[in-house]
Chains A and B, each alone.
Chain A
Amino acid sequence: SQQGEEDPQALSIQEGENATMNCSYKTSINNLQWYRQNSGRGLVHLILIRSNEREKHSGRLRVTLDTSKKSSSLLITASRAADTASYFCATDATGGFKTIFGAGTRLFVKA
């Protein structure tokens, strides 16, 4: 399988705290993406980081990529109750046109 693990599987924090989620993968990649999914809905793209990038920011999101360790992390700063959702990392293998998802982290932000 192309995709590895995400940890933690579930994370519960207080509003205002930071949330960090980690993702590992197995094969060489073109890029790594993070998506968000509210319960019972489709996924929404958050951020894409290319294999030659090490860090990327978008608003309260910060993504890092370490291709030597085949891992990525997503940091959400100053979390809000509305950030409660499942977060998935996804990878595009080199030479392919398909996107494969990891198991996801379920984030619960308490108001």
Chain B
Amino acid sequence: DAMVIQNPRYQVTQFGKPVTLSCSQTLNHNVMYWYQQKSSQAPKLLFHYYDKDFNNEADTPDNFQSRRPNTSFCFLDIRSPGLGDAAMYLCATSRRDSLNEKLFFGSGTQLSVL
């Protein structure tokens, strides 16, 4: 089945140690998103790619970076994780045309920072 896959499901890192989360999709969607979700809160958009165009949210810390080497893959890099970066990170995709804007989500990566 076509889907959005996030790896790993759980990630533990140390304070200040760089970490990379990955997302892949078989939907051939042109837009990919990264959301951060803390406990009992709404998903917060960090950035999104429209094809190869990167769109950063104004309040996304510089500590967060992203790469999209091709249509199928997108990575979230956290350069120096702090305790406040512990959260669920959700990848989503959508096909942006006139009729189809719904998002398809992966299962998320739960990041712990020790």
Contacts and interface: CB of A to CB of B under 8 A. Distances in A.
Interface of A: 3, 30-31, 33, 35, 40-45, 48, 88, 90, 92, 97-104, 106
Contact of A98 (B41, B45, B102, B105): B45
A92 B90 CA distance: 18
Given A43-B43, A99-B45, A102-B42, A31 B106 contact: no
Contact of A42 (B41, B90, B94): B90
Contacts, number: 62
Given A48-B102, A97-B96, A41 B108 contact: yes
Main secondary structure of the interface of A (DSSP, over half): strand
A3 B92 CA distance: 19
A101 B42 contact: yes
Nearest to A41: B107
A33 B105 contact: no
